[in-house]
Chains A and B, each alone.
Chain A
Amino acid sequence: MSIIVVGLSHKTAPVEIRERLAFSNNQIHTALRELVDGRELSEGLIISTCNRVEVVSNAEVAPQQAFNRVSRFLYDYHRLPQASIDNYLYCHSEQSAVKHVFRVASSLDSMVVGEPQILGQVKDAYDMAVEAGTVGRILNQVMQRAFTVAKRIRAETNIASSAVSVSYVAVELANKIFEDLRGKTVFLLGAGEMSELAAKHLLNSGASRMMIATRTFEKAQQLAAEFNAEAVDFVERQQRLSDADIVICSTGAERYVLNPEDIRRALDIRRNRPILIVDISVPRNIDPAIGRLDNVYLFDIDDLQAVVQANLKEREREAAVAESIIDSEVTKLFSRLQAIDIGPTIAALKQHLNDLAVAEFERNRKKLGPLTPEQEQAIRAMLSSITNKVAHPMITHLRESTENGSYSVDVWRKMYHLDEKK
């Protein structure tokens, strides 16, 4: 048994190269059946996303031979000239392969560390391989462990908990000011892709009400219908301001649409319940002097970018923690894999030898003449003792050899046809 990974990712290859090796969902089933022929590779799994193509497999041969097999398959399947993109491919084996799988599943190898999609994509790839029948004992252990590790990393580190896109940042800021977004009102001043996206995120995170005011009332009504929100006349924006907890502004106006006096009045009516104002417009639509008022928190587009940068740094810090979690998990899994592989093999070996002995006994029984119960028992005991003594050196060798390498296990299984149906 040796676990190998062959593939390429956004880290090693540009998109023009990656797309040449990509598998669509329809193709994966047949591709896996072709790849996992039971000769060199006994188990296999293909992960194909827009940022990577990974082939994970359990090989019956030495890693180098397995790498060649997989890359040959990739070239053949996608009708590419052999070795044409070797520079872009990476190969991992054994512990480094398991570590790579863990890192990918935990989003540590992603373009944005901590992104949530990759885990789902890896799970889908696993499901498809299970359906294709190319997942066996070893890959099952590795992948299940990968999912657990990914979950653990999300729970115990902060790599995934901070916003790295400008529209998510609004939600994050809102959470740092208001504990709960439920019952809070979002006021959208002006329309625009980014502001609508931010509003959507806020609604998804629990905000209950939304008001929309654009310079043309029809547009506001249109958007309001879409968002199940209330359309507000632009000229009434100052009056309605006191109802808003979070204001997202991107009107494209040339002058300020809100000034300090409006905010002070609104705060008075709100009895100083805080207001978060996010001004995504360029030029800015909200008088920056407002930011100096108490209980108002004003962020312009540069500030949001700064939050994104800070969060990215935080993710990098957390990634370091995640890496050490992964290292310890890889070691744990590997010793488990080594251990579990012997158990069934030893049992199967013993059973096999025992069956052999008993079969011979049955076959030659007549020649022995009638046997008393004690004689029969003595013979069975003798057979058992012989098989144990014969098996003992094999078993000791098996145990020792798993410390240094792993091929002997499968050699023994092959030698005695332990995996074949009788």
Chain B
Amino acid sequence: MNVLLLIAAAFYSIAVLHSILTLLRKRRILVSVSLGSLSIGLIFHTASILGRGMSASRFPLVGMQEAFSFLAWAIVVYYLIAYSLYRVQALSSFLFPLIFIWTLIAAFLPAPQDAPATIRGEWNTWLFPVHTTLILFSYASFFVMFVAGVMYLIQEREIKLKRFGLMFFRLPSLDTCDDISYKSLTIGFVLLTLGIITGMIWGSQRDGRLWHNDPKEIIAAATWLIYLLVMHYRLTAGWRGRRAALLAIAGFALIIFSLVGARYLGGYHAF
């Protein structure tokens, strides 16, 4: 049980509470408290990751616990950057609860005991942190795209069914949801591409082969293909709005599977 992460999660929960309250009442102070506690939580979260890295004397991205923790951290960083640039408060009510749950899970997962053979010793090059960071930040991006997609679908449903309840009033416009979706798709795709490339380079440094038919590699390729499709059809055939949202959900499901399930399929990427 990771104490620092628990503290971070506690602060995130305050952020969640306030961001949900903004659905009911639009007071400026709710937004400030929400962002404030998110930021404080981030400090503890960062401390937890750094601590982990120092105690294991390596980059802390091995195993499910560290991956979860890093992913949640990446999402928070991503959101704060997006907020400072675009002031998108809209996502918070949906994004924060998920960040909180992620962090909580990470706080309770057992930390990996030992670095697996594949990244010990001379293979512990700079490519390892770069590859994993790129991949996880791309996941964070696709996660935001997923949330934007869900929001789009809900709002579209409200408008189509002529239902004008709480959600209709508080959700942002369709264009905004779609815009966030598109921007995070682009960023995520670029990061994923770079991440896969660095991963292949790193892998080939070890045994000369770019591709190992490893489950995680296959899933990563599949994920990359899905998002490539989304990008392509968005640009050419105008697959926006609903279709993009549904694909975002599919792509994200694959990412979750890659994070959680791939280890059970064996292969050398199994951590």
Contacts and interface: CB of A to CB of B under 8 A. Distances in A.
Interface residues of B, number: 24
A270 B169 CA distance: 27
Interface string B166-197: 00110011111001000000000000000000
Interface stretch (A295-303, A329-337, A377-385): A295-303
Given A271-B238, A294-B242, A295-B241, A176 B160 contact: no
A173 interface: yes
Interface in A253-311: 270-274, 291, 294-295, 297, 299, 303, 306-307, 310-311
A194 interface: no
Interface residues of A, number: 28
B27 interface: yes
A178 B173 contact: yes
Interface of B: 25-28, 155, 159-160, 162, 164-165, 168-169, 172-176, 179, 237-242
Contact of B169 (A158, A173, A271, A297): A158
Given A156-B27, A297-B159, A176 B168 contact: yes
Closest 8 CB pairs of A and B: A271-B238, A310-B164, A272-B238, A179-B175, A179-B173, A179-B176, A177-B174, A178-B175
A306 B174 contact: no
A321 B162 CA distance: 26
Contacts of B159: 173, 176-177, 297
A173 B158 CA distance: 11
A119 B182 CA distance: 42
Contacts of B165: 310
B25 A294 contact: no
Nearest to B160: A297
Nearest to A268: B238
Contacts of A274: 174-175, 241
A162 interface: yes
A176 B176 CA distance: 9
Scoring B25, B159, B162 by chain A CB atoms within 10 A of each residue's CB, the highest score goes to B162
B32 to A, nearest CB: 13
A177 B175 contact: yes
A321 B21 CA distance: 14
Contacts of A175: 173
Given A274-B174, A307-B164, A310-B164, A179 B179 contact: yes
A291 B156 CA distance: 12
A314 interface: yes
B164 A271 contact: no
Contacts of B241: 272, 274, 294-295
Contacts of B240: 271-273, 295
A304 B242 CA distance: 24
Contacts of A177: 159, 173-175
26 contacts: A156-B25, A156-B27, A156-B28, A157-B26, A158-B26, A173-B159, A176-B159, A176-B174, A177-B175, A178-B175, A179-B172, A179-B176, A270-B238, A272-B241, A273-B238, A274-B175, A294-B242, A295-B240, A297-B160, A303-B162, A307-B162, A307-B164, A310-B164, A311-B164, A314-B169, A321-B25
Contacts of A158: 26, 169
A295 B238 CA distance: 11
Contacts of B172: 179
Contacts of B173: 175-179
Contacts of B174: 176-178, 274
Contacts of B164: 306-307, 310-311
Nearest to B237: A271
A117 to B, nearest CB: 23
Contacts of B26: 156-158
B58 to A, nearest CB: 45
A174 B260 CA distance: 41
A240 to B, nearest CB: 19
A297 B168 CA distance: 14
Contacts of B239: 272
A310 B172 CA distance: 18
A189 to B, nearest CB: 21
B93 to A, nearest CB: 16
A299 B169 contact: no
B158 to A, nearest CB: 9
Scoring A162, A175, A274, A311 by chain B CB atoms within 10 A of each residue's CB, the highest score goes to A274
A389 B242 CA distance: 82
Given A177-B175, A271-B237, A272-B238, 11 more contacts: A156-B26, A173-B159, A176-B159, A179-B172, A179-B175, A179-B179, A180-B175, A273-B238, A273-B240, A291-B160, A295-B240
A255 to B, nearest CB: 24
B27 A162 contact: no
A396 to B, nearest CB: 40
A314 B160 CA distance: 19
A158 B25 CA distance: 8
Interface in A167-191: 173, 175-180
A326 B199 CA distance: 61
B180 to A, nearest CB: 11
Nearest to A267: B238
